[in-house]
Structure formats: C-alpha cells, structure tokens
Amino acid sequence: MLATSVPLQLRQVLPRHSLVAALCDLGRCNLLTANNGQCAFSTTAALQEEQQPQAEAAVPLPPASGPLVGIKVLDVGQVVAGNFCGGLLAYFGADVIKVEPPGRGDALRHLRMEDGAGTSLWWRSYGRNRRCLTIDLHNEEGRQVLRQLANRCDVMVENFRPGVMEKWQLGPTDLKPELVYTRISGYGQTGPRAHLPGYASVCEAYGGFRYINGFPDRPPVRPNISLGDSLAGLHAAFGTVMALLHRSRLGAGAAGQVVDASISESMFNMLEGCVSEYAAQGVVRPPSGSTLTGVVPSGTWKAKDGVYVIIGGNGNSVYNRLIAAMGRPDMGIDNPRFATDALRCQNEKEILEVIEAWVGSHTSEEVMAAMNEARVPAGPILSTADIVAEPQYQQRGMIQRAAPPSGGQEVTMPAMLPVLHGTPGATRWAGPDLGEHTEEVLRGELGMSNTDIQRLRDCGAI
C-alpha cells in the first residue's frame, strides 16, 4: 500500500522505493504500516487530511539552558561511553533524543543499584535531560524511522562496533551530509583492531593506563570506575562541539564530519610525556604506587589518626615551604643535595622518610592546618559520603537533585562539568523511563498520527 498525494505522472516515472526515498528525504513523507505487517508511507499532505484522535497532552518539560540550546542530537549510544557523551551534550542545552531497543532498553538501565521503580540510579544520572523513545534497529522499518530522525538533527552519536551502522545503511554516507556523526569504539574506526569489541577494562590496558597504574611488585590495578568509557565519552563530546563550531563557521549548508573517538586512544591521550620520554631516552615509565616518577615529593601518607593525606611538594618554592613547615629547613633548596627536582629525585628516599615520620606524628587536621599555612597543596582522600557532605561541593552546586519526567523518586546526582559562568548547564530532569517520549517525538519531529504510531508498533518497528 502506498498512500500518497503525489501526481500519477511522478509515480510512473519513479519506482516505488525510489519515490518513497525521495519523499522522505524532502520531509514530505512519513512511515506507515499496512495491515499485512509490512510498512508503507504516507505524505504529510495525506496525514493532514486524516481525522486524528486527540492525544493526551504530555507533561511539559523544563526549558533548556546553556551554550548548546538549539542543537538537536540523535543519541544511539549505549551503556557508559555513549551515554556520558549524550549526557554532557544534554546537560549543556542540546535537545538529545535517546534511542533504545524496545522492551529491554539501554543496558545501563540495569547496571548496579536501582531506584524504587527498578531502574538503575546510574541511568537516572547519565540519562538526564533526554527525551527517550524506542526503535528496533534490527527492523528495517525501525531503521527508516531512525533515518528520518537523523536527517532532522545536527548530530548523531553511536558506539556500536565499527561496521554495524554501515551494515544497517545508517552510516555517515547514508545520511545527510550536514550531520556531525560522532562515533565511539574500542580502538577507532580504522586500523587492524577496529573490528574488535572493546570494553573499558580491556582498552584501558591497551591504552597504556593499566601498565603505569599500581605498584611495581603487584598486579596492575583497576580503579573502581569505568574511567576509559567516561574519558571516551568526554573526548566524543569535545569533538562534537568542535565539529559543530567548524560547521557553523563555514555557514549554512556546510557539511558535517565524522568524530572518531575511541576508549583506548582516550586513555593513550592521558599518557603525558611517556611516549616522548621513551622515544628520546628509551625509558618506559613504570608503575609507582602512590608517588609520581620523576616528581619529588608527591605522594600519600598516613597521619596519626589513621587518615591518609595527599601532599604535593614538587617545585622549588613549594618544596622549600614544605620542608621548612616540617622543621627541616636544612633540607631546603639552599642545600646542594636538594636544590633542584632532579637532585631531589636522587635523594628521594631520604625526603620521603622525613615526610612519613612528620605526618605520622600529627593528626590529619594538624597536617592540613600546617600545609595550608605554608601554602603547600595538600588534602584528604574523600569517599563519596564525604563528598556529598563537603561544603565546597555543596556551595559550588556539584550535588544536584531531580526527578524523572514521569515523577517519582527524586535522584541525587553529580553536576556535569565544566562550570560556565555565562551559559551554565543544568540538570532539568533525571533519566526518563523507557520509551517515555516515543509518541511525543514521532508526532513532534516526524508529524506522525496516532494511527501511524500504532501501525509502527504492530510491525515491531518501535
């Protein structure tokens, strides 16, 4: 069935599928489903002639604020990396339309601890400020809905294994050229490992991080967060904003570009001088426990009350104030053995022993007071419970609360950074329920009627 008001002459010139594609590209046609379960199309004009029942009014969402207001993002990202990227863009004002598989939703909805509604608290945080709809991308009719939405957006974010979107004919060359197409993967879109699946745990190791993290005499250590995923999402969001800036400078109708972010390369990007040091001197930076190779003194020490504190005394003037505050001005920079960082590295053991003994003979509060007075960077190691109660975080607005759009339990979550003083981002609502905005998006973005939406449900597209 092809319900359309296109003149008969045009129908005779174009094959059936070419006509459909031409109409959809022009924004003149919408996906429908025939009674036999196959999907067909109707033009906007035909839809306007259809008698539509009035849908129940949706609860209005709070208005967006921030530098990305007016940018529309189609978010097909998954789990941590994709959701962190989409979450950052949404926090700073973009209209992010989140796509998930019907029934089960994004895997992040089911990870770790849940709220009273049985949804992951992690999702409520990362999914904030988004409108959520369900589309089955294994269904061709579902993929056609995604194409229509993508061609009405500025950005698309995805983190499927490289090649999957091309197999579905949803790759960069299948969509409008103006689209900024942001991709996150384990190893990047090219190269001999591009086709391999990549989780943060594996890619953190491949990116060099796990080699230098930990203690020399113990197995490599993993931090108890998905650091690689989050860094990849951050790089992807940064790349997206740069691509949007470039496109805007070229003017109306300018082409977008592919933003190619990977977990392993996001970790690799954090290796500071490791590559240059190896290339020039053949030195491989090793794991160094709680210290920093080549920077003395910087480390973690245990105070008399059992609390660990961090002290960073590197740099000549800071070191001089540190060692004087500990009652050892004789070890200051006027002493030729400690005059430079290189010399302090040669005498590291002696310096660290002095610091350990001094910190161990004072409470953590006494240590902090002495370091603050001497203007030496130092601080406690805070747990999540400490952070939530910490006045610095509270006064800076780092702890935020919001409920999902449908209502229910208010969720406490961290702010997203950085802080912009002129155009700040905001948490407007917590991550929505699965498919909460499916009908709103299909009506508002694609002009679909209740009948169209029901037909899409019947053929499993949404």
Catalytic residue set: 229
In whole angstroms, give the CA distance from residue 44 to residue 443.
12
Question: Could you please report the per-residue DSSP string of 302-371?
Answer: E-TTS-EEEEE--SHHHHHHHHHHTT-GGGSTTSGGGSSHHHHHHTHHHHHHHHHHHHHTS-HHHHHHHH
**d(Cα 35, Cα 65) in Å, to the nearest integer?**
44
Q: Which tokens sit at 297? A: 């003194």
d(CA 256, CA 248): 9
Eight-state DSSP code of residue 429: S
* 31, 145 contact by CB (below 8 A): yes
Pairing of strands 155-158, 72-76: parallel
Q: Please state, in angstroms and rounded to a whole number, the distance separating the CA atoms of residues 374 and 378.
A: 10
Distance of CA 277 to the CA centre of its chain: 31
Count of CB atoms situated within 10 Å of the CB of 113: 7
Which secondary-structure segment (H or E) carries 140? helix 140-150
Instruction: Scan for tokens 């209502």, then name that residue.
Output: 407
Report DSSP state, residue 85: H
Angle at the Cα of 129 (from 29 to 28), degrees rounded to 5?
5
- Is there a contact between 256 and 248 (Cβ–Cβ < 8 Å)? no
With b for 16 or more beta-carbon neighbours within 10 A and e for fewer, the 70-102 pattern comes to ebebbbbbbbbbbbbbbbbbbbbbbbbbbbbbb
| 76 vs 216: CA distance, rounded Å | 41
Q: Are 418 and 392 contacting, i.e. CB atoms less than 8 angstroms apart?
A: no
- Residues 63/26, Cβ–Cβ less than 8 Å: no
